Amino acid sequence: MKKVLTYTKFIGLIGLIIFLFAFTGNRNEKRKIKEVEIEFVEEQNLYINELTVNKLLIQNQVGVTDVGKEILVLNIVEKGLDTHKMIEDSDVYLTVNGQLKARIKQRTPVARVNAVVPFYVDVTGNTMPLSDNYSAHVPLVNNVSEREVSEVFPLLRKIQEDEFLKKHIISVYRNVNGHYELGLRVYGFEVVFGKIEFLDSKVRNFKAFYQKALKDKSLEKYKKVSLQFRNQVVCTIK
């Protein structure tokens, strides 16, 4: 009899624990989302602000705040954010106390194209619109259409990844022959890069020329520096 009583108490305790877990879970599911926190990651400048993100979080004119957690589908919220052309990736999740958090990774521009409707080119080679919040300090590309972005992108990416080029190159121009010319931040000579080929060799030659001319204090003497030929640098004196 004593064993039966102990067994009955044990079963009752298990039932009580299950009930409490179910009650707590149901109560947690019905809790309203009262706060939204937006965090921008891996970016130093905001091309998209919190107000814009909050607007993207609105579905059918109903905000995500004060919405029961059981009816909020997070992957749909993320997909809505990821459709914005300034956002590369988003991560939306709920905390145990009912706070909605959105972690936003912005796209990173590497160049600005001066077109009828100007636009950026990002690190993946895709286009993105200009921002009303911040203007990126990237090279200005002229005489390049959107369909020609894929052609010039390897050069733009090279400039973005190379600290020397990133420091000195401020513009890229595509001439009528389809060859590219580079504008420098300080010195006024024209750098004729030529076609988008042999990038490493041309950059290496240009660096060697620059360092030697800087040492010789002759950079001001040149009118044009051509890198069109893979294994040499051809200079024109003023």
Segment 8-47, tens digit of pLDDT:
543 443 443 443 344 344 444 455 566 778 888 876 688 8
Helix (H) or strand (E) holding 227: none
Query: Which percentage of the chain shows pLDDT scores above 90?
Result: 51
Helix (H) or strand (E) holding 69: none
Question: What's the pLDDT score for residue 10?
Answer: 38
Residue-wise pLDDT for 90-113, tens only, equals: 898 887 777 788 899 999 999 999
For the chain, the domain total comes to 2
- The whole domain housing 92 covers 35-106
Axis crossing angle, helix 149-161 with helix 199-216, rounded to the nearest 10: 50
Domain-located, residue 2: no
Whether 90 and 123 map to the same domain: the answer is no
Question: What's the pLDDT score for residue 129?
Answer: 95
Pairing of strands 140-142, 169-174: parallel
Whether 74 and 172 map to the same domain: the answer is no
Mean pLDDT of the chain: 82
Domain-located, residue 39: yes
Q: In terms of pLDDT, which residue wins out, 229 or 156?
A: 156
Q: Which of 106, 135, 164 is the last residue of a domain?
A: 106
State how far the Cα of 193 lies from the Cα of 181, in Å rounded to an integer.
Answer: 5
Q: Which of 88, 106, 124 is the last residue of a domain?
A: 106
Domain-located, residue 22: no
Q: In terms of pLDDT, which residue wins out, 80 or 34?
A: 80
Question: What's the pLDDT score for residue 39?
Answer: 87
| Residue 60 one-letter amino acid | N
Whether 100 and 147 map to the same domain: the answer is no
Question: What's the pLDDT score for residue 5?
Answer: 42
Domain-located, residue 8: no
Q: Which of 53, 80, 106 is the last residue of a domain?
A: 106
State how far the Cα of 220 lies from the Cα of 222, in Å rounded to an integer.
Answer: 6
Query: For residue 150, which phi and psi values (nearest 5 degrees)?
Result: -60, -30
Question: What's the pLDDT score for residue 31?
Answer: 52
Torsion of CA 170, 153, 121, 45, to 10 degrees: -60
Whether 130 and 210 map to the same domain: the answer is yes
Whether 125 and 217 map to the same domain: the answer is yes
Average pLDDT over residues 151-159: 97
User: What CATH number corresponds to the domain at position 117?
Assistant: 3.40.50.11690
Question: What's the pLDDT score for residue 170?
Answer: 97
115-119, 159-163, 229-233: least confident range: 229-233
70-74, 210-214, 219-223: least confident range: 70-74
Other Cβ atoms within 10 Å of 171 Cβ, number:
16
Closest CA to 33 of 87, 1, 3, 77: 77
Other Cβ atoms within 10 Å of 100 Cβ, number:
22
Residue with tokens 């106390």: 97
As to burial, measured by CB atoms within 10 angstroms (0-12 exposed, 13-18 middle, 19+ buried), residue 98 is middle
Question: What's the pLDDT score for residue 232?
Answer: 87
Q: In terms of pLDDT, which residue wins out, 223 or 18?
A: 223
Domain-located, residue 42: yes
Whether 141 and 73 map to the same domain: the answer is no
Sign of CA dihedral 88, 94, 95, 100: positive
DSSP three-state, residue 200: helix
Q: Using 50, 70 and 90 to split pLDDT, how confident is the model at 62? A: very low
Domain-located, residue 10: no
Domain-located, residue 26: no
Domain-located, residue 15: no
Please give the angle made by the CA atoms of 41, 42 and 48, to the nearest 5 degrees: 60
DSSP three-state, residue 112: strand
State how far the Cα of 14 lies from the Cα of 46, in Å rounded to an integer.
Answer: 53
* CA 54 distance to own-chain centroid: 19
Whether 133 and 96 map to the same domain: the answer is no
Does 69 have pLDDT greater than 80? no
Whether 160 and 187 map to the same domain: the answer is yes
